[in-house]
Amino acid sequence: MDLTDRGVGKTLLIIGIHIEELRFGERVAEGAKELGIDVLRIEHGLSNDRFLYSNLFYHDTFLRELYLQTHMQIRGKYSIAIDLHTGFNQAGCCADVFCKETCVLDCLHCVLQNRLIGGSLLLKKVRLLKIVKNVAVRPKLADVSYLRCKTFIPETVWKGRHYHYVGLEIYLPRPGQESREDWLFARQLVKCIHECGKKLKRNKSNEIRGNCQGKPV
């Protein structure tokens, strides 16, 4: 399947992979629904603290299976899937966006550099990171401007064959003390990612129409 030939142009927001993040995800999802974004609420996620589990192998295996089950459930139905998480940074109101596909990162860069939040460019509050299988491999020229990272998420999910996978980590100033500002910040980023999904789908459709012009039927 072509990397941009997927889904029906719809966006999915996944919340609750980690149980501590579910409440925050639900508040963010309230704004996402207004944009026509579907929400997948994980009812029984895992704790973000691996050391609460006596068997770390069980924790990691269960988390992998949770992602694979989610993947099987959504593939073919969406063009972009946003996997929402939270982290902690005393400065607050910043985020990391993770994606394997350079076209998504490029689109986000363009969108974010034209958006303001609290009087600051949204791009200044966001790091765009490219997911790679091996960080030791020399990056392609088109990718050198992005930080590279590995992820614990199964490759089947993030490699982008069935949909654009986008990991979104919102950094809060303190655990469990998110504010309205944090929810609005996250909603703004979800909206930007959603817009990129629509742009990529539209560009693909225009490309197909252009290639068909003048060709015999």
Domain boundaries, given as residue ranges, for the chain? 11-209
- Assess contact for 21 and 85: CB atoms under 8 A: yes
Q: What is the pLDDT of residue 148?
A: 94
Q: Which two tokens stand for residue 126?
A: 């966001």
Q: What is the pLDDT of residue 117?
A: 77
The whole-angstrom distance between residue 13's C-alpha and the CA centroid of its chain comes to 8
Q: What is the pLDDT of residue 100?
A: 96
- What CATH architecture does domain 11-209 belong to? 3-Layer(aba) Sandwich (3.40)
Please give the single-letter amino acid code of residue 96. D
User: How far is the C-alpha of 21 from the C-alpha of 201, rounded, in Å?
Assistant: 30
User: How far is the C-alpha of 124 from the C-alpha of 128, rounded, in Å?
Assistant: 10
User: How far is the C-alpha of 121 from the C-alpha of 135, rounded, in Å?
Assistant: 29
Diameter of the chain measured on Cα atoms: 65
* Other beta carbons less than 10 A from residue 75's beta carbon: 17
CA dist list (Å): 18 to 14, 24, 54:
11, 11, 17
Q: What is the pLDDT of residue 38?
A: 96
- Assess contact for 17 and 83: CB atoms under 8 A: yes
Q: What is the pLDDT along the chain (217 residues), one digit of tens a residue?
A: 233 344 567 999 999 999 999 999 999 999 888 899 999 999 889 887 766 666 778 888 889 999 999 999 999 999 999 999 999 998 888 999 999 999 999 999 999 999 887 777 889 999 999 999 988 888 887 788 899 999 989 999 999 788 999 999 999 988 777 889 999 999 999 999 999 998 887 776 555 334 334 333 2
